[in-house]
Each structure stands twice: as structure tokens, then as C-alpha cells.
């Protein structure tokens, strides 16, 4: 099946590492024009060098000025925007008693308000191209995770935003979907493994084995496996998929929907 992404311009936030970088690399391999961004200028410059012919921009998604500048630079470089991947690093782990007002506000700005601002800035260009938006969230939107309270709350808000936009923007030719990773081999997952191991007083290897045992396929996913699904959803091949939450988790979650 051809994805027909060649020549399409895709903006990928949080693309210097992890799942964002994996998506960007997959899109590059499909011939898309890439505009990638990260809050870490050195990391995004390195990612740009690895990926080759792309626009690599320092953009803190908590900063609306940075976001507007990234969108403007993308338009200047490629002349159009066909798709947007909304992505940001996750809030820190912890439970209710671990966070004060400042922590809640920081999580809101990082995860939820950044999504609003990214869409707001890119939407005029997306409308003109009948483009699409892909929100990256978390399995916590389907099954809240006990030690990730901030993520549970904020990413659920992102999922609700995506569903609402999928209905309001479809008549204007813009598709909106959400993609949910399970346990995929990234630096964030490694950090969560270490955090959980420390809390239980066990080794990282023991914690990893416990987590792998929860996955019917018996292993963590690879970033490339997740990225290929994202590329499909971003492509014209998925032209009648709208308002969906697609899970890539090896069958881990027990939810029916």
C-alpha cells in the first residue's frame, strides 16, 4: 500500500528523541517534507543532521511565541503545511500528595495548553490544504495509571480536545486523530522503569520483567512499530479515519474501546 506522503509537509513536535523522532524518521523514509522541533536546541540540531534535508527548529511548546515562529518558518521553507503531530514530554510521575499548585500548572502548560496552542497556530495552513492533526497521548487516557496522576488528568484533556476538534473541523476538510503508545522502548519508559523499581525496592531488570509480563506479546514495543502506525494515520491512505484513538500496545490494555 502506498501512503502517498511524498512531498507532503509534516510538522512533528517533540521530535529530537523517542517516539517523536521515530515518527519523523518514518515520514522521511516515505518522502515527506519534515519540519521538526524540540525545546532542546542541541538535540534538535543533532536530530536534523541525522534526518537530513529537513527544517529543525528550537521550539518550547510552552511558549506561544516559539510556536508561532516555528509555524511561520515551516511555511517559509515549504510553502504549506499538510499535517501536524502534537507531542510533548510527559509530566513527572507521582500521586496526588506529591504535587502542589505549581506542579499542576506546569503540567497543564506542558501537556494540554501546548496542544491548544500548536493547533491554533497551524490550523489556518491545515485548513487550506485539507490537512490533518495527530495527537500523541498515553494509555492513561483509557486506563489511568496509578503513579502518573498528572498525565492521567492532562492527557485525558488532550483526548477530549482531539475528539471535539475531529467533529468541528471535519466539515472544513481537516481530519483529527489520536495515537496511544503502550510500553515502547524509549528513554521515558526506561526512566519510569527505574522509578518504579526504586519505589518497590527491586532491580530495574525485575521491574522490566514484571512490565513485560503484562504485555500479551511478551515484550516492549519498538519505536519504529509505533511510528509506522502514526505515518499511516497522517497519510492520505487514512483519508476516512477521523476522530479515532488508535492504540499501539501489543494488546496490553483490557478496555473494549
Q: What is the pLDDT of residue 195?
A: 84
Confirm if 133 and 172 have CB atoms less than 8 A apart: no
Q: CA 189 to CA 249: how far, in whole Å?
A: 13
Q: What is the pLDDT of residue 61?
A: 97
Alpha helices in 135-238 (DSSP H): 149-169, 187-200, 204-213, 223-234
Q: CA 245 to CA 257: how far, in whole Å?
A: 9
Instruction: Give the pLDDT of the chain (257 residues) as one tens digit per residue.
Output: 889 999 999 999 999 999 999 999 999 999 999 999 999 999 999 999 999 999 999 999 999 999 999 999 999 999 999 999 999 988 998 999 999 999 999 999 999 999 999 999 999 999 999 999 999 999 999 999 888 999 999 999 999 999 999 999 999 999 999 999 999 988 888 888 888 888 899 998 999 999 899 999 999 999 999 999 999 999 999 999 999 999 999 999 988 88
CB neighbour list of residue 185: distance below 8 Å, 6 or more residues apart: 220, 221, 222, 223
3-class secondary structure, 94:
strand
- Domain covering 9-182+222-244 assigned CATH 3.30.450.20 in the classification: no
As a 3-state breakdown, the chain gives helix, strand, coil percent values, each rounded to 5, of 55, 15, 30
Q: CA 75 to CA 69: how far, in whole Å?
A: 10
3-class secondary structure, 87:
coil
Please state, in angstroms and as integers, the Cα–Cα distance from residue 134 to each residue in 163, 190, 208, following that order: 11, 25, 29
11 pairs with which residues across the strands?
A: 35, 84
Q: List the domain boundaries for the chain.
A: 9-182+222-244, 185-220
Q: CA 43 to CA 41: how far, in whole Å?
A: 6
Confirm if 55 and 73 have CB atoms less than 8 A apart: yes
Amino acid at each position: 500500500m502506498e501512503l502517498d506522503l511524498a512531498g507532503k509537509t509534516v510538522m512533528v513536535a517533540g521530535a529530537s528523541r523517542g517516539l517523536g523522532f521515530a515518527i519523523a524518521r518514518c515520514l522521511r523514509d516515505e518522502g515527506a517534507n519534515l519540519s521538526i522541533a524540540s525545546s532542546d536546541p542541541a538535540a534538535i540540531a543533532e536530530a536534523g543532521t541525522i534526518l537530513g534535508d529537513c527544517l529543525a527548529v528550537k521550539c518550547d511548546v510552552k511558549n506561544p511565541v516559539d510556536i508561532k515562529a516555528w509555524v511561520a518558518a515551516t511555511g517559509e521553507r515549504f510553502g504549506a503545511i499538510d499535517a501536524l503531530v502534537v507531542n510533548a514530554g510527559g509530566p513527572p510521575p507521582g500521586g496526588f500528595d506529591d504535587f502542589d499548585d505549581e506542579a499542576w500548572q506546569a503540567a497543564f502548560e506542558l501537556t494540554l495548553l501546548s496542544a491548544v496552542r500548536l493547533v491554533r497556530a497551524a490550523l489556518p495552513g491545515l485548513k487550506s490544504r485539507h490537512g490533518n492533526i495527530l495527537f500523541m497521548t498515553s494509555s492513561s487516557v483509557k486506563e489511568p495509571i496509578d503513579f502518573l496522576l498528572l498525565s492521567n488528568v492532562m492527557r485525558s484533556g488532550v483526548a477530549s480536545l482531539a475528539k471535539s476538534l475531529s467533529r468541528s473541523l471535519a466539515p472544513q476538510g481537516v481530519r483529527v486523530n489520536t495515537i496511544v503508545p503502550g510500553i515502547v522502548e524509549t528513554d521515558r519508559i526506561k526512566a519510569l522503569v527505574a522509578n518504579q523499581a526504586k519505589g518497590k525496592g527491586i532491580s530495574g531488570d525485575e521491574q522490566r520483567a514484571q512490565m513485560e509480563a503484562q504485555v500479551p506479546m511478551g515484550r516492549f514495543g519498538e519505536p519504529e512499530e509505533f511510528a509506522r502506525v502514526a505515518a499511516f494515520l497522517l497519510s492520505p491512505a487514512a483519508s476516512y479515519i477521523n476522530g479515532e484513538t488508535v492504540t499501539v500496545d501489543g494488546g496490553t490494555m483490557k478496555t473494549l474501546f
